Amino acid sequence: MADAATTVLNSRVPEGPMAEKWDRCKKEMKLVNPANKRKKKIIVVGTGLAGASAAASLAELGYQVQSFCFQDSPRRAHSIAAQGGINAAKNYPNDGDSVWRLFYDTVKGGDFRSREANVHRLAQVSNNIIDQCAAQGVPFARDYGGTLANRSFGGAQVSRTFYARGQTGQQLLLGAYSALMRQVGAGRIQLFPRREMLDLVKVDGVARGIIVRNLITGEFEKYSADCVLLCTGGYGNAFYLSTNAKGANVTAAWRCHKRGAFFANPCYTQIHPTCIPVSGDYQSKLTLMSESLRNDGRVWVPQTAGDQRRGNEIPDSERDYYLERRYPAFGNLVPRDVASRAAKERCDAGYGVGSTGQAVFLDFRDAIARDGRHAIEAKYGNLFHMYHKITGEDPYQVPMRIYPAVHYTMGGLWVDYHLQSTIPGLFVLGEANFSDHGANRLGASALMQGLADGYFVAPYTTGHYLGSQNLPSVSTDDEAFTEAMANAQDRNAKILGVQGTRSSDSIHRELGHILWEYCGMSRERQGLETAMGKISDLRDEFWSSIKVIGQGEQLNQNLEHAGRLADFLEFGELMVRDALVREESCGGHFREEHQSPENEALRDDENFCHVTAWEFTGVGNEPVEHREHLEFVEVPLATRSYK
């Protein structure tokens, strides 16, 4: 197996010193001349930060681009929900930051489970992203002298996070969207909203197109191209309750997996420590409170278990600022996985607050007294307003109540250094790939990766691919397109034909409970084995009991949700299997059998310093495990400590 994996998983990382790898890669790439670019067609699926920036950049270069999203407008991509900021190594505060320091923090934050070369490239191009976005008019916060302002995020001891109050993702997406729509107006991008990708089309083993369903009419459509860029986000909604938009799903990536794209590290799920707690059994999603709040907010619980007093009624002498106590070097700005596990430990021990006991306090009393209410409003006003609207509590007067929730996913389709999957011609960008964050993403690095991939990596690597291939013209009348369309139509027809008694929501909620209970913030062998059986049974239940009203040839959101749920049920089993075979704790993957005496994650570098990439062999069949060995030269393997 090791030999086979070595042959297949060629990461194509260039030789030479780390700081020179990306420049060397670009120097050795083939180019496509401007006249030939106009003859090349590229499909980009997704219009979030990765998709919008990639489509705009490729069209600006002269390629014909077709852009697809299932929303009614590219502006509604889930990237708008990102709140706190975007990292870059500008070192404006002059506090010791550098490209190397950003690289180091990201490798360490990912618990030494990411590919060093990809992370270093990310740090290298980070400064270009800020210049690009500022030139587009993104309204970054500025300090008194007019320089772009920075704030701190977890896992770093420098201030490198650029922000636009608590709506950074929205502002960055508007910048990318404006660039996208400029190219739509110029005729170089064809925009296809309200389309959902349901299959990838391979011709002679190479990605050459996609099958989509028009969500308004229900019609199936086929589109061909010279290559496909997948920018469809993560799979956090497998848990049902998450901070993701309700429409976010795994379908496009999963259908590519079933066509031969390996899925890497699916068990790596990030639990964000700063979310509004669950309030009821029938809540449909959770709301994120930006990690940036931990710059000024202090996290604590009462010193007495079961204390039900309101937060502002508990004096300092009876408070446990447990992050500051446990991690004095980083305090409230420890990485997300560390903060989340610490909150869970306190709540499990009986110190949680609120009616459920599943919450801790995030308190701004001291910051307001120190800096004044106006300064806090300027930094976080929209976040405080959102919290007040949702909970009915004014965080200027009483502490926020927060609890960890599913947020980002570090796993994704396996890609090499060029962002190409194991299917030639299929490139995967942003959260949909596995490459940059290892087992735990540092805050403000998601936006950085999406824009780095779209603006500064994919335009080079896809151009190299197109310049290196002699791709014959392919028509959508080709047999491969006919087969793929029939496959997608048959699956929808099968779902519609069950006519059982259970709704998608009821089954999805049950799946989410299984995943959260057994494969959530902590995992252990017996629970994971239990989850495998429960998910398999629930998948059978879906195909015998799902009820979808309406027809396929019309707007039918019940059918959309059911199709995505069917993929989550298949994917969920792979997520659990991946967690089961990784007999170590690292980052967001915490196996209870593998922890230090201080309850910290205990890695096993001798046996698990690798990427696990799974090959699909059929629904219900055991997938084939492949491995990419990870080497750490610039940042030597070490026990991660924030104390």
Check: CB of residue 326 under 8 Å from CB of residue 338: no
Q: CA angle, 412 as apex, 489 and 415 as ends, to 5°?
A: 100
Burial 527-551 (b: 16+ CB within 10 A, else e): bbeebbebbeebbeebeebbbbeee
Check: CB of residue 102 under 8 Å from CB of residue 87: yes
pLDDT-derived band of residue 7, with 50, 70 and 90 as boundaries? very low
Residue 549 pLDDT exceeds 60:
yes
Residue 5 pLDDT exceeds 50:
no
| Span 87-102, average pLDDT | 97
Q: What is the pLDDT of residue 282?
A: 83
Query: Exposed, middle or buried: residue 520 (CB in 10 Å: 0-12, 13-18, 19+)?
Result: buried
Residue 6 pLDDT exceeds 50:
no
* Per-residue pLDDT tens digits for 112-141: 999 999 999 999 999 999 999 999 999 999
* Per-residue pLDDT tens digits for 247-275: 999 999 999 999 999 999 999 999 999 99
Residue 2 pLDDT exceeds 80:
no
Q: What is the pLDDT of residue 281?
A: 81
Q: Which residue numbers are catalytic?
A: 336
For residue 390, the number of C-alpha atoms closer than 13 Å in the C-beta half-sphere is 21
* Per-residue pLDDT tens digits for 356-374: 999 999 999 999 999 999 9
CA distances to 385, 470, 576 from 409, in Å: 27, 36, 14
Cβ contacts of 125 within 8 Å, gap of 6 or more: 22, 452, 455, 456, 457
Q: Return the amino acid letter for 488.
A: A
| Span 464-493, average pLDDT | 97
pLDDT-derived band of residue 1, with 50, 70 and 90 as boundaries? very low
pLDDT-derived band of residue 8, with 50, 70 and 90 as boundaries? low
* Per-residue pLDDT tens digits for 335-363: 999 999 999 999 999 999 999 999 999 99
d(CA 32, CA 427): 18
Q: What mean pLDDT is reported for the chain?
A: 96
Closest CA to 599 of 426, 360, 376, 346: 346
Check: CB of residue 45 under 8 Å from CB of residue 251: no
Residues facing 210 on adjacent strands: 200, 223
Residues facing 466 on adjacent strands: none
* Per-residue pLDDT tens digits for 209-240: 999 999 999 999 999 999 999 999 999 999 99
3-state secondary structure 37-67: HCCCEEEEECCCHHHHHHHHHHHHHCCEEEE
CA distances to 93, 213, 243, 274, 528 from 83, in Å: 21, 31, 12, 12, 33
Quote the percentage of the chain above a pLDDT of 90.
96
| Span 57-67, average pLDDT | 98
Positive or negative, the Cα torsion across 163, 431, 593, 529?
positive
Cβ contacts of 87 within 8 Å, gap of 6 or more: 102, 126, 153, 160, 161, 162, 442, 444, 445, 448
pLDDT-derived band of residue 599, with 50, 70 and 90 as boundaries? confident
Quote the pTM value.
0.97
Cβ contacts of 272 within 8 Å, gap of 6 or more: 243, 288, 291, 336, 340, 404, 405, 406, 407, 408
